[in-house]
């Protein structure tokens, strides 16, 4: 018997449906001839709690820290024991095991840790499925690989799990115990990803709160030229008082010039025209989709992830969604026309875009060299009856299909025009764009483009028809929302000051993963550190106080981003994970030494974040119940890794 272990029931059903002869369900598995397909239910196992290593660790005490397991243990999740028993029984009857976890780091860990926990010593193959439609699954079944090839990926995922446990367990206990000394009775959760994300929001809120606006002034002039009229803007010279962005801080020079401008004549002294061609945006990764869906439809990152999971598992309309890749395999190009025609023809909007596509074109989106364990999100080719989907599901599917369809449109071509006029020995600038070829742009246009400049010739005269001075004021940065926070997590190098680290992070960007970013935001809200105010995300007083009490190293993105670099090196180059864990333990000792009750008390007293709404029941379990006795944590569910 051959046993295939899928990550979840939906994948197991898709695999069984692709096997010859049909299947029957029996005792937590699907039987198809000599092949049996069973499944996990997400993670069946989890890192053992501290008291599994020493019963004394059930009490939270400072003198226990750091807790450092010498031999790591996994334990079954409470609701997973039954399915774990099914897999154990089937392993005793099989000759070969096929690992069918999702094609990513966590998917590799989820199934392989079960196989190893149950003591299987025989051969293991790897099945990589990114599309649940039957032809795609059949192709994947014909291309089984040796699971040994994916051992580095497993070691990276295992190292991530252990590191998160070490970091979350030790720092959460340290800050919770310190919090008690400072008069705070709740659990203060600290994690290697969630805490730097919270730090981003706290610092942004502080920038907004501390922002002191100041006025600046602009002078515009409407100019008559040979073939029409345009608006140009005065460019004050360095002899005036300017800010770092070149904005005029004194109103008087602008007013004095404005008095002299009416009917003044000048000349076009510089004209630069540059033709630009811009290829269509690439197909989506999950995070890129979350950013666009938040901007266009106001959907939270978690809502987009949930929608994508339904489109993938229930409706089978899109490929594997938890992808960080924006490229497609070369083999998809040959099938793209048939796939898109089948997927899009029943929807009026998509059908219109489909009719405009030129399938002779090939964009840079198809590139095997840039495709890893998974590829960009794309339609599977199953006919999409969007009228039967929820409205938000249809919206998200159209975005995914649109970005793939756009690859079969020509580039956007424009003439970018920059004109500089000299009037009364002062410089005035105007800019505009001339559309040469709309290309893919009509698929994406959400607002009218600025009108182009009239035809211009360098040296031609101009005359001032009207002018005015506008008084403006600098504005604080915008608060984070789901879209901008996900984008910040994707492009975390922008928030790093160290030039060496910044340069490194440009190559290995990202805080969290495609699969975890939405969950991190929701966790911070659930734990009372963030709140949603309309469409924005703001820190609470609890979140503000926690960040103020932590050393900067724990609340900034550098550490966790470097973690991801090291985990990538383990996964892609096969680096030994032991130096990574050793370095983490050294960092952990330094962080634990910095816990200070007086600092925490002061931080909580001066915190200026927003008041959190009444926590949910689960939130109370985490953050608001009072401790039940000396040396014990507040009553709560089993402590999780606080990533």
Active site residues: 320
Q: By the 8 A CB rule, do 539 and 527 touch?
A: no
Closest by Cα among 75, 71, 115 to 97: 115
Q: By the 8 A CB rule, do 41 and 9 touch?
A: yes
d(CA 242, CA 231): 22
Which pairs from 571-580 meet CB under 8 Å and 24+ separation? 571/105, 571/152, 571/153, 571/155, 571/156, 571/157, 572/152, 573/152, 574/152, 577/155, 577/156, 577/158, 577/159, 580/159, 580/163
DSSP 369-397: GG--SS----B-SS---GGGS-HHHHHHH
Q: Which residues make Cβ contacts (< 8 Å) with residue 603, sequence separation at least 6? A: 545, 546, 548, 549
Closest by Cα among 266, 243, 238, 240 to 255: 240
d(CA 557, CA 508): 13
Report CA-CA distances (Å) from 165 to 377, 584, 588: 31, 11, 12
Closest by Cα among 326, 285, 280, 286 to 303: 286
d(CA 602, CA 609): 14
Q: Three-state DSSP class for 80?
A: helix
Cis geometry, peptide bond prior to residue 205 (ω within 30 degrees of 0) = no
Residues in the chain: 643
Q: By the 8 A CB rule, do 172 and 190 touch?
A: yes
Q: Which residues make Cβ contacts (< 8 Å) with residue 550, sequence separation at least 6? A: 175, 190, 195
Q: In what order do the strands lie in the sheet with 2-6?
A: 24-25, 29-32, 35-39, 2-6, 96-100, 124-126, 145-146
């Amino acid at each position: 018997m051959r046993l295939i272990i899928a990550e979840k029931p939906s994948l197991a059903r898709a695999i069984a449906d692709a096997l010859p002869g049909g299947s029957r369900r029996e005792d937590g598995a699907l039987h198809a001839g000599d092949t049996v397909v069973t499944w996990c239910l997400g993670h069946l196992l989890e890192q053992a709690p501290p008291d599994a290593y020493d019963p004394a660790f059930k009490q939270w005490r400072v003198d226990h820290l750091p807790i450092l397991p010498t031999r790591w243990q996994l334990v079954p999740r409470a609701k997973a024991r039954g399915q774990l028993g099914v897999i154990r029984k089937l392993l005793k009857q099989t000759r070969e095991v096929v690992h069918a976890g999702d094609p990513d780091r966590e998917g590799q860990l989820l199934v392989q840790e079960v196989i190893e926990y149950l003591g299987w010593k025989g051969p293991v193959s790897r099945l990589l499925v990114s599309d649940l439609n039957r032809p795609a699954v059949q192709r994947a079944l014909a291309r089984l690989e040796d699971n040994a090839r994916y051992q580095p990926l497993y070691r990276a995922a295992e190292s991530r799990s252990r590191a998160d446990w070490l970091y979350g367990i030790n720092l959460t206990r340290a800050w919770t115990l310190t919090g008690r000394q400072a008069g705070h009775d709740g659990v203060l959760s600290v994690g290697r990803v969630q805490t730097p994300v919270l730090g981003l929001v706290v610092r942004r809120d502080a920038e907004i709160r501390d922002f002191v606006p100041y006025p600046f002034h602009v002078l515009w002039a409407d100019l008559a030229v040979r073939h029409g009229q345009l608006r140009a803007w005065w460019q004050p010279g360095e002899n005036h008082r300017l800010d770092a962005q070149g904005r005029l801080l004194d109103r008087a020079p602008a007013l004095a010039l404005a008095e002299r401008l009416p009917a003044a004549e000048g000349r076009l002294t510089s004209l630069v025209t540059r033709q630009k061609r811009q290829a269509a945006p690439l197909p989506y990764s999950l995070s890129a989709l979350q950013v666009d869906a938040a901007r266009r439809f106001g959907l939270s990152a978690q809502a987009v992830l949930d929608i994508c999971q339904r489109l993938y598992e229930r409706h089978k309309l899109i490929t594997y969604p938890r992808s960080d890749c924006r490229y497609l395999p070369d083999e998809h190009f040959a099938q793209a026309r048939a796939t898109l025609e089948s997927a899009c023809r029943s929807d009026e909007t998509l059908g219109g875009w489909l009719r405009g596509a030129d399938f002779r074109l090939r964009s840079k989106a198809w590139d095997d060299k840039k495709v890893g364990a998974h590829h960009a999100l794309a339609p599977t080719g199953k006919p999409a009856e969007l009228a039967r989907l929820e409205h938000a599901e249809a919206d998200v599917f159209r975005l995914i299909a649109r970005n793939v369809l756009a690859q079969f449109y020509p580039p956007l071509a424009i003439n970018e025009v920059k004109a500089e006029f000299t009037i009364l020995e002062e410089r005035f600038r105007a800019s505009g764009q001339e559309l040469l070829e709309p290309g893919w742009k009509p698929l994406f246009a959400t607002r009218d483009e600025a009108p182009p400049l009239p035809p211009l010739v360098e040296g031609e005269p101009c005359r001032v028809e009207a002018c005015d001075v506008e008084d403006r004021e600098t504005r604080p940065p915008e608060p984070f929302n789901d879209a901008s926070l996900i984008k910040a997590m994707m492009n975390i190098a922008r928030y790093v000051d160290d030039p060496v680290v910044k340069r490194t992070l440009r190559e290995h960007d990202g805080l969290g993963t495609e699969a975890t970013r939405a969950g991190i935001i929701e966790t911070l809200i659930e734990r009372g550190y963030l709140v949603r105010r309309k469409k924005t995300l703001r820190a609470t007083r609890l979140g503000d106080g926690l960040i103020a009490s932590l050393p900067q190293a724990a609340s900034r993105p550098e550490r966790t981003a470097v973690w991801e670099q090291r985990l990538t090196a383990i996964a892609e180059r096969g680096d030994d994970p032991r130096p990574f864990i050793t370095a983490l333990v050294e960092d952990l000792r330094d962080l634990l030494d910095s816990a200070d009750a007086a600092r925490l008390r002061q931080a909580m007293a001066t915190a200026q974040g927003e008041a959190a709404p009444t926590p949910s029941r689960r939130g109370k379990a985490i953050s608001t119940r009072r401790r039940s006795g000396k040396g014990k944590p507040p009553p709560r569910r089993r402590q999780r890794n606080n990533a």
